[in-house]
Structure 1
């Protein structure tokens, strides 16, 4: 059995430490106050800065970027640092855009992290739909990530990425045994432009997904720090109260059994 340590840095950004690897998810290190434009008239303002500055992170071996075109998942500060952080795994479109030491993956593509003295970790891209049916041409490609290594007793570590609940996630529940889950929530909406359509899961959808996946450990991320999040921790926590969910404040660390 191998323990995995997860530090919630803020927003979607987390540091995963396992088997000698230090893996960063959806890095966002801009200071608060900036505005980010997502296309088609949508925008968001950053309300809170990262709990840990990029310069204080230490070495990073790999970065998981669910998508490159939204500043709440990869902001300019983080993008400038990607060449210093080892290999970046992301969508195929993002890999073409970002260049450098970047690997592009489509849903269900796999690759492997390998180095002397470290666990071999298989990375599998998982499907996402970042909005209502038919929104893919507008919202662009997004992937989640599953991490699998030898000795996992409870199952794979799954980072859902920015997505609503749809058949692609139900397929994940059928195909993967998930032990630890970093679940993107936030119920992203742009009410004046797209009404009540959501672009990430709310807690009700998260609850349905948990009932499908049945993970051992659940850590929510991507629900605070930007103005376009419509459902914060307080409301989501009430909905998910009957499940064993670990809420990490920004800067807080948790070690769980994989």
Structure 2
């Protein structure tokens, strides 16, 4: 089946699979913003936002939230999508941050739910473990990845890593599923100050290579890497490109444009990447 993926911004993508339209971790605020975190002296700076609006995205069948408690995975603009979405899927901790949202489905790690298209098309969503930083920091396990499966997949599933570092949970995904396409959250995120630079919250170039070798996917789609968007994204595209080339996995990687570059020089607003799975 042909799948369309559009990278919106940060960890947000629009997936069009059969008759289903699914968005992940939507961030749609515009302009430069400085966000508080609730911790003294710690804030997140976003230099620019996507030019897309909730209205332009239109009706959705589902939103997959790896974790709604961080503003670079769900902001106020992203929350505007709830009203035009049939179902919001997240983990148990995430539900506590979605007060007043009635259409929430909660999945524990390895829990599964099914989405139904208007034409009877069925797609299963399985939550997978993620580790958003060092184990000793509170809340780093309150994050999910997702595996998407549907009838007719020829060469494995679609895996969305969520915000995670490399850890045993990725090995568990590799043991349970044949992965066709891995959508990996990069960036080598670090919050300095106050945390030491060595502490990371998403995949570094080295960890991305480890993940690819562990998952053995047929293709890799990187997202969550734009240093031009967020100040806390520490590793740029060139660092990843060099690491992928050195490891001999660069032929698997598909760098796709995102909505920040719309419209294109030729006036096109189509940034979809199409692939068979």
TM-score, normalised via structure 1 length: 0.94
Give the length in aligned residue pairs: 256
Asked whether 1:229 is paired with 2:233, we answer yes
Secondary structure of residue in 2 paired with 1:49: coil
Runs of 4+ in 1 over 3 A off after TM superposition: 38-41
**Structure 1 pair 38–174 and aligned structure 2 pair: CA distance change class (3 A):** farther
Contact 1:142-1:162 at 8 Å conserved across structures: yes
**Structure 1 pair 140–215 and aligned structure 2 pair: CA distance change class (3 A):** closer
Asked whether 1:219 is paired with 2:255, we answer no
Q: 2:133 aligns with which of 131, 134, 157?
A: 131
Instruction: Give the distance between the partners of 1:118 and 1:51, measured in 2 at CA.
Output: 33
- Residue 84 (structure 1) aligns with: 84
Secondary structure of residue in 2 paired with 1:97: coil
Asked whether 1:192 is paired with 2:193, we answer yes
CA shift at 1:140, angstroms? 5.8
Instruction: Give the distance between the partners of 1:245 and 1:51, measured in 2 at CA.
Output: 26
Instruction: Give the distance between the partners of 1:51 and 1:174, measured in 2 at CA.
Output: 39
Secondary structure of residue in 1 paired with 2:93: helix
CA shift at 1:239, angstroms? 1.2
CA shift at 1:54, angstroms? 2.3
Contact 1:111-1:124 at 8 Å conserved across structures: yes
Whichever of the two has the greater Rg, that structure is 2
CA shift at 1:39, angstroms? 4.2
Extract unaligned runs of 5+ from structure 1.
none
Contact 1:185-1:200 at 8 Å conserved across structures: yes
Question: Could you give the per-residue CA deviations for residues 143-192 of structure 1, whole angstroms, max 9, x where no partner exists?
Answer: 01110001111111111000000111111111111111110010000122
Instruction: Give the distance between the partners of 1:140 and 1:215, measured in 2 at CA.
Output: 24
Query: Over aligned residue pairs, what C-alpha RMSD do you find?
Result: 1.5
Report 1:105-254 matches (<5 A).
Answer: 105-135=107-137, 137-139=138-140, 141-195=142-196, 196-224=198-226, 225-241=229-245, 242-243=248-249, 244-251=252-259, 252-254=271-273
Contact 2:35-2:44 at 8 Å conserved across structures: yes
